[in-house]
Amino acid sequence: MASDPEQPAHSSFAKEARSGGEIGSAIEPLLNGVHDSESYSVSAAILPFLFPALGGLLFGYDIGATSSATISIQSPTLSGVSWYKLSSVEIGLLTSGSLYGALIGSLLAFNVADFLGRRKELIGAAVVYLVGALVTALAPNFPVLVLGRLVFGIGIGLAMHAAPMYIAETAPTPIRGQLISLKEFFIVLGMVAGYGIGSLFVETVSGWRYMYGVSSPVAIIMGVGMWWLPASPRWLLLRAIQGKGDVQNSKDIAIRSLCQLRGQAFYDSVPWQVDEILAELSYLGEEKEATFGELFQGKCLKALWIGSGLVLFQQITGQPSVLYYAGSIFQSAGFSGASDATRVSILLGFFKLIMTGVAVVVVDKLGRRPLLLGGVSGIVISLFFLGSYYIFLDNSPVVAVIGLLLYVGSYQISFGPIGWLMIAEIFPLRLRGRGLSIAVLVNFGANALVTFAFSPLKALLGAGILFYTFCVIAVASLVFIYFVIPETKGLTLEEIEAKCL
């Protein structure tokens, strides 16, 4: 029998949970961390991670490919078009078009995420990715090219919003940190692929079309994969306890979904896991539908402070800017390949991959806070080295190389993966879609701001003072991490809500 919206079928269940009844008594030890490890099959957990992570790979690929596409499209002999003479403003639109599209995608996600669910949002992202890639690759003129970049960026905004949520809500607790951090690995892998494919086509006529078109089959694979995967069991149960579906029917669907996610070998334990999630959601009062005002109250306000603050510091400590100096730093150090920006980018890309891999391996062992504190401390030192090089030590390029590599390595074991991990974990379930949308919007907005302000600030202050400024901001981020960021290692999403907010 369907639930009455005025008197949901779960109401007595929820009241009993919160009033200390049998269910409430049973759930209290769970919220104090006394719970059995989730049973799961590693092989079964791979695909629910892989297809959402392809959204991150396409994001990274766009960054890498665009660095070569801008060279290809401005070549009189290789662009293959008559409108190759692009102004600095047009180049800016080409490179940042997807970023502004991502901002639009984040705004769209705020309104549709909880209604559509994580799976359908990712399917939509794959479709938008495909359309954007085809429009960009086949663009007959510059305005259509920019339109294609904008559409592709909307796919980025939707994918980078939904993928962390889907992975967080479907991943087994013991490896949740590793899987969400591995999404950052896929972003970097996409960047390296973009640099590599860009270098292959950069001397081909109309090579930029091939660079952008290559992402089309990946978008198709992502869409087909997400169509095959089940909806998030937590999202299904949330909709049910909010009176938007029959609870028992939703439980049955959630059980089938969780069987597919955990593996048929663990079928016997899945109903117990679903009952545990449902009991925890009711105990935490998740049956009330979220309102806009609640985003800025209580638990969600604290989650916004944690998540948005973390991704803001992720960007304003110079992440979009430091790598712009990679070519000149390597060149000053005498590296023969430094004259080729693409080769330098590939070199740094592989280094980023290695360091992200280190973070993936240790994040569920060491925890989130140690990686953030250690990595951001490394960022502070690296920015001090880079600032000192440009002001005092211009005859010691080895200092700049060390500073650059230390920055990249430190970022990839801290802000890079942990920022996306924390915003996926920290929001209460019924507010997660909208809360994470705001955090993603802050991320892309800060990225756009730093990218836009970098050149004028460099002209005004000079590179050395600019890096010292980033260094001071990094010190402030260390204080923020130490006093504000909680440790979520080993906790279920429901325990994070109960104990950390």
Q: Please indicate whether the domains covering 40-230 and 291-501 agree at the CATH topology level.
A: yes
**Where are the chain's structural domains?**
40-230, 291-501
Least confident range from 141-145, 215-219, 342-346: namely 342-346
Return left, alpha or beta for 285; rule: phi > 0 is left, psi -120 to 50 is alpha, else beta.
left
Q: Is the pLDDT score of 18 beyond 90?
A: no
Q: Is 250 exposed, middle or buried (0-12, 13-18, 19+ CB in 10 A)?
A: buried
User: What average pLDDT does range 6-25 have in this prediction?
Assistant: 40
Pick from 249-258, 368-377, 440-449 the range whose average pLDDT is largest.
368-377
Please report, for residues 380, 452, 454, the alpha-carbon distance to residue 464 in angstroms, rounded to integers and kept in the order given.
14, 18, 13
Pick from 171-185, 250-264, 466-480 the range whose average pLDDT is largest.
466-480
3-state secondary structure of 7: strand
Pick from 17-31, 132-146, 298-312, 438-452 the range whose average pLDDT is largest.
132-146
Q: Is the pLDDT score of 162 beyond 50?
A: yes
Of residues 122, 169, 131, the one with CA closest to residue 149 = 131
Q: Which residues contact 340 (CB under 8 A, 6 or more apart)?
A: none
pLDDT (0 to 100) of residue 324: 63
DSSP 446: H
Residue 454: band (very low, low, confident or very high) from pLDDT cuts 50, 70, 90 = confident
Instruction: Express each pLDDT in 183-209 by its tens digit.
Output: 889 999 998 899 889 888 988 999 999
Residue 305: band (very low, low, confident or very high) from pLDDT cuts 50, 70, 90 = very high
Residue 36: band (very low, low, confident or very high) from pLDDT cuts 50, 70, 90 = very low
pLDDT (0 to 100) of residue 145: 95
Q: Hey, what are 70's tokens?
A: 């801008």
Of residues 165, 157, 155, the one with CA closest to residue 126 = 155
pLDDT (0 to 100) of residue 47: 81
Task: Indicate the average pLDDT of the chain.
Answer: 83
The Cα 367–Cα 177 span in angstroms is: 9
Return left, alpha or beta for 230; rule: phi > 0 is left, psi -120 to 50 is alpha, else beta.
beta
Amino acid type, 209: R
Q: Is 464 exposed, middle or buried (0-12, 13-18, 19+ CB in 10 A)?
A: middle
pLDDT (0 to 100) of residue 354: 94
pLDDT (0 to 100) of residue 12: 41
pTM above 0.85? Answer: no
User: What average pLDDT does range 4-20 have in this prediction?
Assistant: 40
Instruction: Express each pLDDT in 232-284 by its tens digit.
Output: 888 888 877 777 767 788 888 888 888 888 776 667 777 888 888 777 777 66
pLDDT (0 to 100) of residue 283: 66
User: What average pLDDT does range 110-116 have in this prediction?
Assistant: 78
Instruction: Express each pLDDT in 343-359 by its tens digit.
Output: 676 778 889 999 999 99
For helices 42-73 and 118-137, what crossing angle results, to 10°? 30
pLDDT (0 to 100) of residue 35: 43
User: What average pLDDT does range 385-390 have in this prediction?
Assistant: 90
Return the CATH fold of 291-501.
Growth Hormone; Chain: A; (1.20.1250)
Of residues 122, 144, 141, 138, the one with CA closest to residue 59 = 122
Q: Is the pLDDT score of 432 beyond 70?
A: yes
Please report, for residues 93, 151, 388, the alpha-carbon distance to residue 99 in angstroms, rounded to integers and kept in the order given.
10, 10, 31
Q: Which CATH number fits domain 40-230: 1.10.3720.10, 2.60.120.380, 1.20.1250.20, 3.90.1580.10?
A: 1.20.1250.20
pLDDT (0 to 100) of residue 483: 95
Residue 86: band (very low, low, confident or very high) from pLDDT cuts 50, 70, 90 = confident
The answer to whether 21 and 246 have CB atoms below 8 angstroms apart is no
3-state secondary structure of 4: strand
The Cα 464–Cα 384 span in angstroms is: 9
User: What average pLDDT does range 448-474 have in this prediction?
Assistant: 87
Q: Hey, what are 247's tokens?
A: 């609870």
The answer to whether 406 and 385 have CB atoms below 8 angstroms apart is yes
Pick from 167-171, 292-296, 414-418 the range whose average pLDDT is largest.
414-418
